[in-house]
Amino acid sequence: MNGTKRLPWREGLRVFRERMGGLTEAKKSYLKSDRDARKAVREALRFGPKTIPELTQQLNLPGERVTWYVMALKRYGEIVEAGQSGDYFRYALKESER
């Protein structure tokens, strides 16, 4: 193992993936685009609160996808509501995430 110690759950996950045929290139590509989109939402919010339509325009992503990421980040406490702008809530990074 190249001198590194693997965590037991990681080893179990590796074995499971091998048994199931590993990750396909399509799945790897999906996971990468998902990770990149979440990172882009966080990065956009580093410069101040934004509404979902503002994020959609800035990130050039479909509104449903931006809504999905914003709601997930909110649920897991990474972002918070920061007031309203017209009919839309503004979202900002939690202070500890900045």
Residue 81 amino acid letter: E
Does domain 31-97 fall into CATH 1.10.10.10? Answer: yes
pLDDT value of residue 3 = 54
CA distance 84 to 67: 16
pLDDT digits (tens, 9 = 90+) for 60-84: 999 999 999 999 999 999 999 999 9
Distances (CA, A) of 51 to 3, 32, 41, 88: 47, 25, 11, 6
Ranges in the chain, pLDDT < 70:
1-6, 96-98
pLDDT value of residue 1 = 47
Domain assignments of the chain as residue spans, ordered by start? 31-97
CA distance 84 to 51: 8
- With CA atoms as reference, report the closest residue to 69 among 40, 32, 31: 40
